[in-house]
Structure 1
């Protein structure tokens, strides 16, 4: 079966959108709101949207809660991915993964370099992985980064990812 045929077998997925930020509010969360809009425009369901502080315990608790919720297929995170001391999303989420999807971060940085920010892409951190049957995708918090990741990687593959996770062994 070709990749395109494979993708056609999967449809709508249920998502949790999480913004990791010490400063964003519901009114100022442009990136989280953008994720919601792009997901819904693509026919997916956003079951919950949260804003949490850039603290390991908050991130770990939110990801765990999302993975334990049978209604959530994918957790999409934005923010807390930089290299500043306060940015701990990547360090918190990566050790939780059962399986990593290194291509997500690799291709995101390549696209960031070629289509968006040039050499500053070396500072960009994005990761993807799975915990049980839930996919977790974490991107930088800028609207440009979110738009790039969602349009070029997440929306085209999200149904395929979930379909693979739901397959019986």
Structure 2
């Protein structure tokens, strides 16, 4: 069963938050605020925060810029994961991923089922890795952001979480780019 190994030192990660919305401003961004508050409370660092409209190319460009930025370890976006025509965050994320973390969406659905029942089927939460950076696309509601953070991300972004976590494999995310001796 999962647990925190207190003998391991906590390693803060640098997290960028992107809210995807055609209508929200920073003053009205409750989902972004939810994530920022939890990032801070967990001891991590807010690397950057932005709001962009539901435009696939703009979202993907911002994700790529953060992936290329050595001061960003993790990107969490909120919004644009639903089923409507303007919901393009998932597609933008997949434009950027080198590898998808398939089980993230499954685990998020399991968590959501406990909170909202079969309405969880309408979410397309996703995650992946690009350029050694983790990317997570969450639904746009504060409740979904709270659930994803409290039930999944706070644990997987904590180096002390056992039996395994995302932080401990940071150094190996780009090992395929290392040259072999020969």
In structure 2, what is the Cα distance between the partners aligned to 1:9 and 1:3?
14
In structure 1, what is the Cα distance between the partners aligned to 2:3 and 2:96?
29
Q: Runs of 4 or more off by more than 4 Å in structure 1?
A: 2-5
Give the conservation status (yes or no) of the 8 Å contact 1:14–1:74: yes
Confirm whether residue 157 of structure 1 aligns to residue 156 of structure 2: yes
Q: Which runs of 5+ in 2 are unaligned?
A: 159-164, 176-182
Q: Give the equivalent residue in structure 2 for 1:84.
A: 84
SS of corresponding position for 1:151: helix
* Deviation by residue 1:78-137 (Cα, 9 ceiling, x = unmatched): 0011000010000111132111111111010111012x1101111111001100210001
Q: Give the equivalent residue in structure 2 for 1:166.
A: 171
How many residues of Structure 1 are paired with residues of Structure 2 in the alignment? 167
TM-score (norm: length of structure 2): 0.86
Q: Give the equivalent residue in structure 2 for 1:113.
A: 113
Q: Give the equivalent residue in structure 2 for 1:146.
A: 145
Shift of 1:24: 0.8
Bigger Rg, which one? 2
Q: Give the equivalent residue in structure 1 for 2:43.
A: 43
Shift of 1:165: 2.0
Q: Give the equivalent residue in structure 1 for 2:128.
A: 129
In structure 2, what is the Cα distance between the partners aligned to 1:51 and 1:102?
26
Give the conservation status (yes or no) of the 8 Å contact 2:68–2:131: no
Shift of 1:4: 5.3
Q: Which runs of 5+ in 1 are unaligned?
A: none
SS of corresponding position for 1:27: helix
In structure 2, what is the Cα distance between the partners aligned to 1:8 and 1:124?
35
Shift of 1:61: 0.9
The alignment's C-alpha RMSD in Å is 2.0
Give the conservation status (yes or no) of the 8 Å contact 1:105–1:126: yes
In structure 1, what is the Cα distance between the partners aligned to 2:106 and 2:8?
25
Give the conservation status (yes or no) of the 8 Å contact 1:10–1:163: no
TM-score (norm: length of structure 1): 0.92
